[in-house]
Amino acid sequence: MAEVKLYGFWPSPFSHRIIWALKLKGVEYEYIEEDLSNKSESLLKYNPVYKKTPVLVHGDKPIAESLVILEYIEETWPENPLLPKDPYERAMARFWIQYGVDTVAALRAFYHGSGEELEKAAKELLEGLKILEEQGLGDKKFFGGESMNLVDISYGALGYWLAAVEEAKGVKVLEPSTLPRLHAWAKNLDELPVVKENIPASDKMMAYLTAAMNRLAKN
Amino acid sequence: MASDQVTLLDLWASPFGMRVRLALAEKGVKYEYSEQDLVNKSALLLQMNPVHKKIPVLVHNGKPVCESLIIVQYIDEAWKDKAPLLPSDPYQRAQSRFWADFVDKKIYDLGRKIWTEKGEDQEAAKKGFIDSLKLLEGELGDKPYFGGETIGYVDIALVPFYTWFYAYETTGNFNIEAECPKMIAYCKRCLQKETVSKSLEDPKKVYDFVVMLRKKFGLE
């Protein structure tokens, strides 16, 4: 079995997605921390198009873009399947994963916003999450049913990451009063051992996010 | 499969719709084409795509699939006995997904900016667009198609945008072939295939459509 390397960035939910998927599949890998302010030769070689993390390197073959990496992991290590078998159910899972790209954009706006922009971003994020809760999650415990799958993995940032940003901003979006089922889902997700044991400590996360937001505010 | 009911909700000029038409043509799937009015959206469209209210939507035996690349993957999996659109090797599949995603991230947005923006913003979009096409040319290399010897997922993702190149060139006042001759040669090679030529629209008609949109948005 060729070796697996993951080039990641410790505070990034995109890197965490890949760690959880590899752990769920029981894949041994070497984690390499990237300093995104001083990108390594390897990163630039393995992801010349975007120069970003995460990048998975299997043998000497690189794969970039976290959602592409997740599908690759699913296909290469088929044990403990993380996508449905039926083509229609797979298409629905992929639809909700793709919907998450809009959610990421809304999360970014929330993260970057202040004052009026923050209010607007919070409102848009809430509206987008209502659709996700109503039509994506419904009454299921996880998007994958009784256990997490690639859809849950793709929305991981809505748990620990959003909670840290909400605290730093002093604005809450994902609450039991506004999004009861999605809030419960996030709590359940954060309690799963694979997630709980593979996210940064909350104080470290808070310190990083606060410093990053202060840097943004200065610019 | 003979009793399959397949309907495509679409808009004739949409490159995303053309992707689905091309995938269905490659698989030899018979379907009903349903032209949609995106100004006065039909009850059917709103029912079949309540989240985004957009085309294309593939309805297979009453069940809707939305988002063009997701539809193309679905078509590949639901009609898996003919003309595979994605490679069988997981690494090659990942590369195909990466480049189709690149087309989604770059070509549509930058192309749209070319015909909607002016001045510096338009110039930046033109440059980004050409740079993106050059990266794609690099990825194509010496292969006849991105899929190798036959049309595949990346070809299906990309080639419909060729029908919009004339509109981009005319509104942006530049020549794509001069900057990216390999890309144009590739697109023309694709058009020699019957499945492609019957799935893609006439660039001059697309240009008239863009002129109409520009007038509507007050850009002319």
Q: What domains are there in chain A, each with its CATH number?
A: 4-76 (3.40.30.10), 87-217 (1.20.1050.10)
Q: Is the four-CA dihedral A172, A173, A177, A181 of positive or negative sign?
A: negative
Cβ–Cβ under 8 Å, residues B160 and B15: yes
Supply the pTM of this predicted model: 0.96
Per-residue pLDDT band at A30 (split at 50, 70, 90):
very high
A169 Cβ contact list (under 8 Å, min separation 6): A110, A118, A213
Task: Compute the average pLDDT of residues B119-132.
Answer: 98
Task: Give strand pairing partners of B63.
Answer: B60
A131 Cβ contact list (under 8 Å, min separation 6): A99, B51
| Topology (CATH) of B90-217 | Glutathione S-transferase Yfyf (Class Pi); Chain A, domain 2 (1.20.1050)
Cβ–Cβ under 8 Å, residues A6 and A56: yes
Dihedral angle of Cα B162, B168, B173, B178, to the nearest 10 degrees: -20
Give the whole-angstrom CA distance, residue B220 versus residue B213: 9
Chain B residue numbers with beta carbons less than 8 Å from the beta carbon of A94 are 67, 70, 73
Residue B67 forms contact with A (CB below 8 Å) = yes
**Looking at the partner chain, which of A49, A87, A131 has a beta carbon nearest the beta carbon of B74?**
A87
Task: Compute the average pLDDT of residues A9-22.
Answer: 97
Chain A residue numbers with beta carbons less than 8 Å from the beta carbon of B63 are 88
- pLDDT, position A218: 74
Cβ–Cβ under 8 Å, residues A157 and A100: no
Q: Indicate the class that CATH gives domain B6-78.
A: alpha beta
Domain ranges for chain B:
6-78, 90-217
Q: Which of B136, B112, B20 is nearest to B67 (CA)?
A: B20
- pLDDT, position A5: 98
Residue B77 forms contact with A (CB below 8 Å) = yes
Q: Closest Cα of chain B to A181: distance in Å?
A: 18
Chain B residue numbers with beta carbons less than 8 Å from the beta carbon of A93 are none
Chain A residue numbers with beta carbons less than 8 Å from the beta carbon of B50 are 135
- pLDDT, position B129: 98
ipTM, two decimals, is 0.96
In this model, does residue A4 exceed pLDDT 90?
yes
